[in-house]
Amino acid sequence: MTSTPNSLFRHYLDSLIQRGTTRASLTEEARDVLRTWYLTAKKGGRAHSPSSPSSPSSRPEPEPVKTPPPGTAPELFPEERKPSSSITLPEGTMEEKLQYLRDLAQNWKPARDLNSLRDTMVFATGNPHTQLMLIGEAPGYYEEVQREPFVGRAGEKLNQILKAMGLSRDMVYISNIVKFRPALPNQRTNNRAPTPEEIEACLPIIMHEIQVIQPKMIIALGGTAAVGLLGEQGSVSSMRGRFHDLNGIPVRVTYHPSYLLRSDNPREKRKVWEDMLAVMERMGMPVSEKQRGYFLPRE
């Protein structure tokens, strides 16, 4: 039987557990795999580990991932993914509708009731009349302080990516799938990724933002945003490289800018950049020869 990176990873984890190891440092890709397994397990499914060799433990063989046929409802959070009837947008301008959503998000009961998110609501930034919407996971320390998404180090990286595309923050709309910073005990500047419950609770807000903005293109920054928005099970590496569909809007999945802070090498930068080139081409943006060559290995 063939071993895949997923199954090797699982065996590696099994061997760590057997040795009594309780801490390990993980690459972003490994985190993605774990996140996907976790999300799948939370939904009562089994973790996806294609062609997994028989496990040393008695764990049942995982089922292959099921990709829904095009046009069918996604598997995770299907109700929230279609803008739900629990939110009725007012008549008015785009700004008025966004203000309504912002006010609603501030006291959004499904999120508040979890008691696992902090109090400060961080909504969105940028130009609502844009064609390009970028969605990340949740505010962190700096975003909470400034009440604006992507203003910390990941935000600086995002600004660089936008600049390379010939764009700036005020030409696009930047938001997060979760509107509050996920809480931790004795929290200072440390952050954590949102849980599936936190994502599920906040999903109606971002889905309505999308409905108001009606972007021509969405970029999902990182696995949390991608899995939450699309409901597809997969790591960023398995979801990037093509366009997905969210209620008729093309979605490009790429690595989170903070991944590039950790894996600062031209190969990883090039992967993100190829996603951005694809977005630019699909949106009919001009792409220069210089731009096409960014982060390619030097001859």
Closest Cα partner for 220 from 200, 205, 208, 206? 206
Residues of span 138-157 touching ligand URA by CB under 6 A: 138-140, 143, 149-150, 152, 154
Residues of span 173-192 touching ligand URA by CB under 6 A: 176
29 binds ligand URA (CB under 6 A): no
Minimum distance from residue 125 beta carbon to ligand URA (Å): 9
Minimum distance from residue 72 beta carbon to ligand URA (Å): 28
Q: Which is nearer to ligand URA, 150 or 273 (CB)?
A: 150
Q: Which is nearer to ligand URA, 2 or 189 (CB)?
A: 189
With b for 16 or more beta-carbon neighbours within 10 A and e for fewer, the 200-212 pattern comes to: bbbbbbbbbbbbb
Q: Which is nearer to ligand URA, 65 or 101 (CB)?
A: 101
d(CA 34, CA 42): 12
Distance separating the N- and C-terminal Cα atoms of the chain: 39
Q: Which is nearer to ligand URA, 29 or 143 (CB)?
A: 143
232 binds ligand URA (CB under 6 A): no
126 binds ligand URA (CB under 6 A): no
205 binds ligand URA (CB under 6 A): no
The conformational region for residue 158 under phi > 0 = left, psi -120 to 50 = alpha, else beta, is alpha
In sequence order, the β-bridge partners of residue 117 are 182
194 binds ligand URA (CB under 6 A): no
d(CA 195, CA 116): 9
One-letter identity of residue 210: I
Provide the binding-site residues for ligand URA, judged by CB under 6 A.
136-140, 143, 149-150, 152, 154, 176
